């Protein structure tokens, strides 16, 4: 469920069925498919039997400084999910578990204010711990993705891309490529070996606004009485504009603090996609 005041408890963050997500991603050219729900693996149970699907999760974590961030963990099993949730507020313990299990994990949308404030000490912890950075996120501003790519190049970490889609429109528009990979193990091994490229679209004001409207329409379709809340949808552009300005400010602050604004790494096209 979404956490927006007035809509909490009546509106979901996503109305897509797992089967529809899978089918759309395959039509849009993905060789492999994974889904990274927030702190959950329940929704993708129906996809487990697909030979080109692997289970993943986006974990909400806490740094030693007390700030929050999102971590992508890929190719997990159900028992891993339990431990990820148990350790997510203890970063040292969480990283030790991930390394022990030899799981691939990434720091997601590090230059976005989505998870709140950031501390300078966070970046020191991130540099020590993360083998991969999300450098192309389909809902994050292009400047934030560029800064993440520059940081990944500086830290010599792998690049990961994903659509971060909450509506069908942006599914598979942002993805990860690994040349020569044919299976999920080969794909994940290629990322670990830093042979991956993050490709596709970034986010912007219009993309987010249309996504909010689409989610609102789905809410009304599921719960017709919420049509009474439709005036709130008229205010969506103001809300997304505020978010856009906050994101611009956040990216500028931290990219300048890390001296990344002049870095513009070049990405080469590769093959084999997953999103």
pLDDT by residue (tens digit) across 137-177?
A: 999 999 999 999 999 999 999 999 999 999 999 999 999 99
Q: Taking a C-beta distance cutoff of 8 angstroms, is the pair 197, 210 a contact?
A: no
Q: Taking a C-beta distance cutoff of 8 angstroms, is the pair 77, 98 a contact?
A: no
What is the rounded CA–CA span in Å between residue 256 and residue 45? Answer: 43
Q: Residue by residue, what is the 3-state secondary structure of 15-41?
A: CCCHHHHHHHHHHCCCCEEEECCECCC
**Closest to 10 measured CA to CA, from 250, 233, 225, 242:** 225
pLDDT in the model for residue 275: 57
pLDDT in the model for residue 265: 44
264 pLDDT above the threshold of 80: no
- Residue 14's Cβ-side half-sphere holds a number of Cα atoms within 13 Å equal to 18
- DSSP H or E segment with residue 206: helix 205-222
- Identify the CATH class of 18-206+243-274: alpha beta
The conformation of residue 141, written as its DSSP 8-state character, comes to B
Tokens 């990434």 belong to: 106
What percent of the chain lies above the pLDDT cut of 70? 95
R_g of the chain computed on alpha carbons: 18
Domain definitions of the chain by residue range: 18-206+243-274
What is the rounded CA–CA span in Å between residue 200 and residue 165? Answer: 13
Helical H segments across 40-134, by residue range = 78-87, 91-101, 120-129
What is the rounded CA–CA span in Å between residue 95 and residue 123? Answer: 15
Mean pLDDT for all residues in the chain = 92
pTM for the full model?
Answer: 0.91
pLDDT in the model for residue 3: 77
Please return the burial class of 203, using the count of CB atoms within 10 Å of its CB with bins 0-12, 13-18 and 19+: buried
């Amino acid at each position: 469920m979404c956490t927006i005041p007035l809509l909490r408890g009546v509106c979901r963050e996503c109305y897509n069925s797992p089967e529809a997500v899978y089918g759309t991603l395959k039509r849009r050219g993905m060789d492999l498919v994974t889904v990274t729900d927030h702190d959950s693996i329940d929704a993708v149970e129906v996809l487990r039997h697909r030979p080109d699907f692997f289970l993943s999760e986006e974990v909400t974590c806490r740094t030693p400084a007390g700030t929050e961030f999102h971590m992508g963990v890929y190719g997990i099993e159900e028992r891993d999910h339990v431990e990820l949730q148990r350790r997510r507020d203890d970063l040292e313990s969480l990283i030790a578990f991930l390394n022990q299990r030899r799981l691939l994990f990434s720091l997601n949308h590090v230059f976005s204010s989505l998870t709140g404030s950031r501390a300078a000490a966070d970046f020191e912890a991130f540099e020590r711990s993360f083998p991969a950075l999300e450098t192309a996120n389909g809902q994050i501003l292009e400047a934030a993705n560029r800064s993440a790519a520059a940081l990944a190049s500086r830290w010599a970490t792998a690049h990961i891309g994903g659509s971060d889609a909450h509506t069908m429109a942006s599914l598979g528009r942002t993805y990860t490529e690994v040349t020569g990979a044919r299976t999920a193990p080969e794909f994940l091994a290629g990322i670990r070996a830093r042979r991956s490229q993050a490709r596709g679209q970034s986010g912007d004001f219009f993309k987010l606004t249309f996504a909010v409207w689409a989610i609102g329409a789905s809410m009304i379709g599921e719960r017709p009485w919420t049509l009474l809340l439709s005036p709130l949808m008229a205010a969506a552009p103001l809300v997304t504009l505020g978010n856009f300005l906050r994101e611009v400010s956040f990216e500028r602050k931290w990219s300048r603090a890390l001296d990344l604004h002049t870095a513009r790494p070049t990405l080469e096209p590769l093959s084999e996609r997953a999103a």
